[in-house]
Structures are given as structure tokens and as C-alpha cells.
Amino acid sequence: MKPLSLKEREYRESLLRIERRAIIPIKWVVLVSTILIWVGLIDSRPVRGLIWLFSAYFAYSLFHSVFFYTGRVGLDRVKPLTLMSFLVDFVYVAMLIYFDNTTTAFGEEPHTNFYILLFLLVMRGFALFSTILETIIINTLISLLFILTLRLQQANFSFMKDPEFVIQIALIWVVVLMAWFIMVVLNQQKIDLIQTNERLMRSSYLASIGELAAGVAHEINNPLGVIISTTEYMKKTVGDDPQMSEDIEAIHRESNRCKDIVNRMLTYANPKPGELSLVDPVALNDEVLQFVFPRGRSKPIEIILEYEPDLAPIRADPNMLKQALLNLYLNARQAIPDDRRGRIVARILTRRFPAVLSFEVEDNGAGIALADMEHVFEPFFTRKSDGTGLGLSVTQKIIESMGGTISLESEQPGGAVFRIDFPIQAT
């Protein structure tokens, strides 16, 4: 099973909860009630088709209940099983309406208005169908069944000209759309709450790692300094021995690499922004781009600038913000394979709710696997053979230390979009 996004996981978990706590009990109430209604209203024994209908629905409901209450339904199977249950309920209600309106079966007019059960299907669809398109399609089918119900009770379709019928249909759809909107808002609130809890847990976890990293880095820094200074001295005194020079150079190079990792660990553990000042976002972003993509000295990559006009300044440490943007642009450049025509979009825009200024870095590289989405900002997590896994975690620490946020916006198969948000200063 492919890893689920937070939104999809919450959606399937809610399906499982609703099915166990509400839908299955309602199914049994509907079954028992409809049987009692038929027994009470019909003097003669029910027709054979009706017996088969009740028997089949009872058998399916029993199987469905046992399957859900014994814990045999996982998140990978809950959606198809709940959809099948909905379709079975739809057929059951439609057949009840059919038998009730088939006067030749009972020799009399319809006994009751079973079409009221259609509203239960409408209400159930709010939880089952997560998109507006799915909601519209299924409720269109329910509306058609409602119209067919009225047609079976009358000689023709003249009732469709009745203002009362038009009002009924309109009210049904007003309720459908309003309830769908409410469900969307509630689901989004639940997702936001889960994300907030996960961020708090991650912050606590990363704080512990940061303290450990700081302690290790301080202990390693001093011996590294001794090794680097010694190899620099040995490079000057080794003479003409090429093998010895090569070995010393390798020690010096790898020691510097270790020192760079240690410095990143220290930055991650305790980023200390300088004095915050008002920064022109366009000028600062252009400066970083000119450094990362010097004309004529890097592989050909198309740089697209999408700057919103009249952007307000933000309050930040310019040097640390440059470092954060530098990391994002370097990652974007490295993500683009050499055999692909590279394209990087540098975007700066404002958003109203909440009021933030956003830097976006979009590339058309190899993309990020869905399973890696939630780990990209964790320290030491990397898919690069020569990476340290500290670039994005350090970038996140830098941005958060200045009061901003960073997120991975893209879930597309190829490419990625990283976004930095800074609060807009009130004027």
C-alpha cells in the first residue's frame, strides 16, 4: 500500500469511524423498521421478490457488520467497502420504492412514502464523497430516483410543472451544497489540528536532536581544527612526494568537509539571527539568483521571474535569509537531471489570509517521492549519495528563527515547490 497523505489518511479514518458508530446501526434500524411497516400494512403475505429483498439485505448487513466490528477493515479497504455499502443501500431503497409503487403486486395504491429514505442516502454521501464532483453526481442520481418515485405514483410527468415540486428539488440541492460545504470546513479544521499537533511533536523531537548535535559539534570542532591546521602545514613541507601530497590533500579536503557538517549542525542547533531589519525581497532574491546562476558559468537553466508588483518589505536578517534562499536554489538546481532542459521559477507574491509575503522556488526536476514528503525537513534525511541531510533542516531553522515558515507545496510527480512565508508588517 502506498503511503497516504495526511488528508487522505484522515478521510479514510473518518469513514471507518462513521461506518462503525453511525451507518451500521442506522442500516439495522432501517431494515427492522421497513420489515415492520410491510408486515403491518399488508394483509396478505408479501410477494416473493420482497422476501428476497429483505433476505439479501439482511445477509449483506450481517456480513458488513461482522467485517467492520471485528477489525478486519484497514485503511486500504475502507473506501471501496463503504462505497459498496452505499450502493447496496441505494438499491435497497430503490427496490422498496418500486414494490411500494407497483400496484399490480398488491392490488392497491402505494402504502407509504419510502422516498424519505433517500434523504438518509443524501446525508451519508456527505461523509463518503470527498469532492464536489462526486457529491453532485451521486445526488443527481438520488434526485432522479426521487423524480421516478413521483412518476410511479402518478400517470405522467405533469407533476414536474408543480411549483411545490420545483421548491422541493431546489431545497434538496440547497441542503446538499450547504452540508457539503460544512463537511469540507470541518474536515479542514481536523486536518489543521492534526498538522499542528504533529508540528509540536516534531519540534520537541528536533529540539532534542539539536541539543545533542550542539554537544557533539563542540566536541568535534577542536580536534578538526588541529587536523586541518596540521595538514596545511604538512602540504607546505612534504616536498616532491606526489603520493604523500595526494594523501595529505585528501585528509585536508575531508577534514574541511567534516568541519562544514559540524558548522551546519551548530547552525541547526542554535541559529542566531542578527539584527532584523526591513529587507527588499526582490533585490535580495535577485542577488541570490545572480550568485547561484552566474551567466555563462553554470549549466543552462531557464530562470523565470514572477514578481508581484509593489511588494512590501519584510523584517528579516538579510544574511540569514540569503543563506536560506541559497539552499533552496542550490537544491532546485541539483534536482534537475543533466539530460533535462532545466526550468526554475522564482516567485514572490503576497497572500491575504493570512497576510504574508511568500517566496516560492519551483523546479522541474525529478520530484520528491510521496513517502519522503513528510521527512524532507528532518535532520540527516537525504536521498543524495553525497548529501548530509542538513540543508533543508538548517533552512527551516533559519526561517523559523526570524518568525517565518517554510513548507513543501508540491505533490506532483515531477518537480517541487518550496514556499517561505513571512508576516507582512503593518503600516
The pLDDT of residue 388 is above 80: no
C-alpha 227: how far from its chain's center?
47
* Mean predicted confidence (pLDDT) in 367-389: 73
Comparing 201 with 416, the larger pLDDT belongs to: 416
- Selected residue with higher pLDDT from 412 and 174: 174
73-82, 267-276, 302-311, 367-376: least confidently modelled range: 267-276
- Per-residue pLDDT, averaged over 116-123, amounts to 69
* Fold entry, domain 204-269: Helix Hairpins (1.10.287)
297, pLDDT greater than 60: no
Nearest alpha carbon to residue 265 among 210, 333, 308? 210
Contact 326, 284 (CB under 8 A): no
Cell of 378: 528532518
Label residue 361 by pLDDT band (50, 70, 90). Answer: very high
Q: Where is pLDDT greater, at 8 or 102?
A: 8
Please report the pLDDT score of residue 307 as a whole number.
93
| pLDDT higher than 80, residue 306 | yes
For position 410, what pLDDT does the model report?
64
Distance CA 67, CA 203 (A): 39
Estimate to the nearest angstrom the gap between the alpha carbon of 328 and the chain centroid: 22
The pLDDT assigned to 285 comes to 93
Q: What is the pLDDT at residue 419?
A: 92
pLDDT at residue 45, as a whole number: 46
* Residue 217 exposure: Cα atoms within 13 Å on the Cβ side: 18
Q: What is the pLDDT of residue 107?
A: 44
Cα 10 from chain centre = 10
**Averaged pLDDT, 302-323:** 88
Of 295 and 283, the structure prediction assigns the larger pLDDT to: 283
- 140-149, 221-230, 391-400: segment of lowest average pLDDT: 140-149
Under the banding of pLDDT at 50, 70 and 90, the label for residue 272 is low
CA dist., res. 231 & res. 250, Å (int): 10
CATH topology of domain 277-423: Heat Shock Protein 90 (3.30.565)
The answer to whether the beta carbons of residues 330 and 371 sit under 8 Å apart is no
In terms of average pLDDT, the best of 2-11, 51-60, 157-166, 208-217 is: 51-60
What's the DSSP call for residue 110?
-
Whole-number pLDDT of residue 282: 93
CB-based contact 67:39 (threshold 8 Å):
no
Q: How confident is the model at residue 320 (pLDDT cuts 50, 70, 90)?
A: confident
End-to-end CA, the chain = 51
Element (DSSP H or E) covering residue 302: strand 301-307
What is residue 115's predicted lDDT score, i.e. its pLDDT?
A: 64
For the record, the C-alpha cell of 18 comes out as: 462513521
pLDDT of 281 over the 90 cut: yes
| In the predicted structure, residue 104 carries a pLDDT above the cut 50 | no
Given this model, what pLDDT does residue 284 score? 93
pLDDT at residue number 220: 75
Q: Residue 183: pLDDT band by 50, 70, 90 thresholds?
A: low
Compute the C-alpha angle 18/19/21, nearest 5°: 65
Give percent of the chain with pLDDT exceeding 70.
Answer: 64
Confidence (pTM): 0.47
Taking residues 156-163, report their average pLDDT: 67
The overall average pLDDT reported for the chain is 76
Q: Which of 96-100, 278-282, 349-353 has the highest mean pLDDT?
A: 278-282
CA atoms within 13 A on the CB side of 66: 5
Eight-state DSSP code of residue 156? S
Q: What is the pLDDT of residue 305?
A: 92
Residue 354: pLDDT over 50: yes
What's 327-384 look like in SS3? Answer: HHHHHHHHHCCCCCCEEEEEEEEEECCCCEEEEEEEECCCCCCHHHHHHCCCCCCCCC
**Residue 155: its pLDDT value, please?**
58
Give long-range contacts, CB 8 A cutoff, 24+ apart: 184-189. Answer: 187/10, 187/11, 187/14, 187/130
The whole-number pLDDT of residue 369 equals 76
